[in-house]
Structure formats: structure tokens, C-alpha cells
Amino acid sequence: MLELASSGSKVMQSRSVEFAQKYNVPFEVRSSFNDQPGTIVKAIDKTLEDAAIAGVALDRLQTRVTVTDLPDTPQAIAALFDDLGEAGLSVDMIIKNLGNNGKSNLTFSVTTDQFTRVEKIVGQTLKKLGSGSVRSAGEISKLSIVGVGMISHPGVAGTLFKALASVGINSELITTSEIKISVAIDPAKADAAVRAVHTAFGLDKA
């Protein structure tokens, strides 16, 4: 639930979920429009591990940021992300290209509403470093699949990318963890991507 919430399915307050997890308190997510039963959220059991993924989340409000001619040193990257952290700004997917002539290029994603501040902070950092420029590389949507079953089910990534390929969608950025894979995709194709991924993992039959 925490992974889904952070990936775009903003159904529950993440702080509430954290307390429920800490004290092992099950809770029910229900609709505010009717009295129908909802979804029970509780500690992981074997039935949850049987499914490769538990859900798909989509965050449409992401911007891809590109930093070019960044000094290719660990100190430069540390300074850039430290300054963003000091300003209370979070980044998501990150890709660093191999350095050339002492310079490197860096691409990462941020929420669209934070881009103006990110651009300002990064620009100030690059000025201190004496090299580099920052710009928006366009709007993206972040599609994430989440599930503890990914740990014990090989081939999840292959199924995801095969589903995206089936509708002609290429991924621009990728991040993974033990229970989540996130990809940045063209916003215009986001709905088609979600439908394809739901079908590929059998979630449209759940």
C-alpha cells in the first residue's frame, strides 16, 4: 500500500499506513460514496505471495529533468542532490550516462509542480561547480507495478516490458526494487499502458 501510494495511487494517507504496519493493525479501504465492502489491508500472507503483482499505479504529473556537462565526479553529484534535499525537494528515477572528457549527463524525474524550484536549485549548484546546464526534457507519466510476489516470481520484468511493447510503448526511465518496478512513459500512451499491463498480469480478471 505504501509503495502504491508513493507511486501515484493516492488512496490512503501514507502516515496512517505506516502506523498500521508498525503496530500490525489491519484496516479496510472503502468508498466514500456507498456502504459496499472495501479492500482489507493486512500483514503479508501466503496468498499475497501467490500473485506476481498486487496492483498498478500511474502518476501522470511527472517531469523529466536533464543536467548536461555536469563535472564527472562523485562530489558534483553529491552536491547536486544534497542541495535538492536541503531545499526539501525529492527526485525519483535517476539515470547517469557515462562520463566523457570529464563531464557527464544526468537525467531524473520530479513531480511537475516542483520543476521550477528544482531548476532553480540545480542551476545554483551548477554555478558553484562551474559547469553544466539544466532543462526540462518533457512531461512523463510514471507507471509502477507493485507486489511482494515479485520476489518469488521470475519473469515479472519481462512480462511488464512485453506488455508495453504490445502497444508500442517504450520506457524512458526505469527504477526497480524488490517489490516494485517503475517506468517513465509517454503521457499520451499512459492509459493504453495501464490496460495492457493489467491484462498481462491478469488484474482485469480480479
Q: Phi and psi (nearest 5°) for 31?
A: -75, 145
Instruction: Give the pLDDT confidence score for residue 69 in this predicted structure.
Output: 93
Confidence label for 80 from pLDDT (cuts 50, 70 and 90): very high
Which residue segment(s) compose the domain that 38 sits in? 1-43
**pLDDT above 60 for 78:** yes
The pairing of beta strand 103-111 with beta strand 133-146: unpaired
Question: Do 130 and 68 lie in a common domain?
Answer: yes
Domain presence at residue 131: yes
Question: Do 34 and 67 lie in a common domain?
Answer: no
Domain presence at residue 23: yes
CATH number at residue 87: 3.30.2130.10
DSSP single-letter state for residue 52? S
> 3-state DSSP call for residue 39?
strand
Domain presence at residue 102: yes
Question: Do 2 and 38 lie in a common domain?
Answer: yes
3-state secondary structure 79-142: HHHHHHHHCCCCCCCEEECCCECCEEEEEEEEEHHHHHHHHHHHHHHHHHHCCCEEEEEEEEEE
Last residue of a domain, one of 106, 139, 172: 139
By CB atoms closer than 10 A (0-12, 13-18, 19+), residue 35 is exposed
Question: Do 28 and 87 lie in a common domain?
Answer: no
Domain presence at residue 97: yes
Instruction: Give the pLDDT confidence score for residue 202 in this predicted structure.
Output: 87
Question: Do 75 and 117 lie in a common domain?
Answer: yes
Instruction: Give the pLDDT confidence score for residue 170 in this predicted structure.
Output: 93
Instruction: Give the pLDDT confidence score for residue 206 in this predicted structure.
Output: 54
Domain presence at residue 17: yes
Q: Which tens digits make up the pLDDT trace of 15-42?
A: 677 777 777 888 787 877 888 888 777 7
Confidence label for 44 from pLDDT (cuts 50, 70 and 90): low
Query: How many distinct structural domains can be found in the chain?
Result: 2
Q: Which tens digits make up the pLDDT trace of 156-175?
A: 999 999 999 999 999 989 98
Q: What percent of the chain has pLDDT over 70?
A: 87
Average per-residue pLDDT for the chain: 86
